Amino acid sequence: MSRVSPGVVSGASYTALIKACHEGGYALPAINVVGTDSVNAVLEAAARNGSDVIIQVSNGGARFYAGEGLPDAHRARVLGAASMARHVHLLAKEYGIAVILHTDHADRKLIPWLDDLITMSEDEFKATGKPLFTSHMLDLSTEPLEENLATSASMLKRLAPLGMGLEIELGVTGGEEDGIGHDLEEGADNAHLYTQPEDVLKAWELLSPIGTVSIAASFGNVHGVYKPGNVQLRPEILKNSQDAVQKATQSGPKPLPLVFHGGSGSTIAEIDAAVSYGVFKMNLDTDIQFAFAHGVGSYVLEHPVAFQHQIEPGTDKPMKSLYDPRKWLRVGEKSIVERLDEAFEILGSKGRSVARKS
C-alpha cells in the first residue's frame, strides 16, 4: 500500500488513496460541513479512528461558511468554499490523516461557482504545485446524458492538469440536497432513481481517458431519511455497472470508483453490499446534522435556565459557564465524533489511513 503525506491529497496521492480503498475493500465517509465546528469534529473523528476522510461543502454550506450577511450570494459561495478549504489545508496535517477536499452537488446554474473555484485552484497550483480542492462534483443528472457527459468532459479537462478529479451523477438521487433535486414522491414510480449500466459504461469510456472520474450511480438511494419501506435500494445495479465496464474494457474487477449518495439512514447490510461492489465514498449529511443537533439540544434541555437567564433566579448564581458557546458547541462536536466512530467502523476504514506517520 502506498503511503502519502498527511493533509489534503491531490494528483498521485489522491489516486493512491482511491486505490487503497479499492484494494482494501473499504470506503470513506464524506461529510458535508458548514463551519469550523463541523470541520474540526470531522478531523478529530478521523484522527481518533486512524482513518482518512472526505470533507465536502455544498453551495449552501459554503454560503453559510462565509456568512449570511454577505449580500452577494455567488461571491459568498466562492469565498466560503475557499475559506473552508484553507482551514482544512492548515489543520489536516496536524491531525495526521489524509483528506479528500470536495464540493458537493452543483447543477447547471452553479457551474459559475465551480468555475471560480477552479480558477482559484489554478492560481494555487501555479504558486504551490497543489490545487485548493481535491475534486468537485458536477450534477447534471436531470439533463440528457449527452449534455451531462459533454459538459463533464469540458470541466474535467480543466481539472486533470491540476491533479484534481471530477464526480458526476448518473440517474437521479431522490430527495433534495441544498436546493438540488426534489422531494421523494411516496408511492410514485421512481424508475429515474436507478442508473442504467450502459450509461455508466458510456460515461467511463468518455471521461476516464481525460482524468480521474468517480461516478455516483443511483440505485434507489435518496437524500435524507425516510419512513422504512419508502426507499428501495438495489445495490446490484452497482455490480452490473462494474461488470459492464470490466467486460468492455478488459480491465480488472470493479474498475469504477463509485459513490454512494444519501447514505444516512441506510442499513449495515445495504452499506456492506454497496462497498463490496466498489463504492469508495459514502455521503453522510442528514445523520451528521442530526447528531450535532441532538447533542446541542440535549445540553440545552439539561440546562434550560442558562439559556433564559444570565443570572439564575432565586440563587443569583451567574450562568455564564453554562451558556458559553464553547460548552454547547463542543457537545455538538462530540456528538458528531461519536456518530462518525460508527461510520468508520461500518465502512471498514478504521485504522487504515494511508497517511505516512511521522
Amino acid 12 reads A
Determine if residue 283 is labeled as part of a ligand binding site: yes
pLDDT score for 226: 42
Determine if residue 105 is labeled as part of a ligand binding site: yes
Active-site positions read 104
Q: What are phi and psi for residue 258, nearest 5 degrees? A: -100, 155
Nearest CA among 201, 104, 107, 95 for reference residue 152: 107
pLDDT score for 43: 98
Determine if residue 224 is labeled as part of a ligand binding site: yes
Determine if residue 286 is labeled as part of a ligand binding site: yes
Q: Which three cell numbers stand for residue 245?
A: 465496464
**How far is the C-alpha of 34 from the C-alpha of 149, rounded, in Å?**
30
Contacts of 308 (CB under 8 A, 6+ apart): none
**How far is the C-alpha of 347 from the C-alpha of 190, rounded, in Å?**
27
Determine if residue 262 is labeled as part of a ligand binding site: yes
Contacts of 148 (CB under 8 A, 6+ apart): 140, 141, 168, 170
Query: Is 304 exposed, middle or buried, given 0-12, 13-18 or 19+ CB atoms closer than 10 A?
Result: exposed
Question: Cβ atoms within 10 A of the Cβ of 50, count?
Answer: 16
Determine how β-strand 53-57 pairs with β-strand 28-32.
parallel
Determine if residue 309 is labeled as part of a ligand binding site: no
> CA 330, 67, 29, 288 torsion: positive or negative?
positive
pLDDT score for 187: 38
Which DSSP category does 357 fall into? P
Q: Which three cell numbers stand for residue 292?
A: 450535532
Determine if residue 24 is labeled as part of a ligand binding site: no
**How far is the C-alpha of 214 from the C-alpha of 100, rounded, in Å?**
13
Query: Is 227 exposed, middle or buried, given 0-12, 13-18 or 19+ CB atoms closer than 10 A?
Result: exposed
- Write down all domains in the chain, each with its CATH number in brackets: 7-293+336-347 (3.20.20.70)
User: Average pLDDT per run of 10 along the chain, which is 358 residues long?
Assistant: 93 98 97 97 98 98 97 98 98 97 97 98 98 97 94 98 97 53 42 76 96 89 50 78 93 93 80 94 94 98 97 95 97 98 98 90
68, 322 Cβ separation under 8 angstroms: no
Determine if residue 74 is labeled as part of a ligand binding site: no
**How far is the C-alpha of 121 from the C-alpha of 124, rounded, in Å?**
5
Indicate the helix (H) or strand (E) that contains 167.
Answer: strand 165-170
SS3 at position 253: coil
**How far is the C-alpha of 116 from the C-alpha of 135, rounded, in Å?**
14
**How far is the C-alpha of 296 from the C-alpha of 333, rounded, in Å?**
9
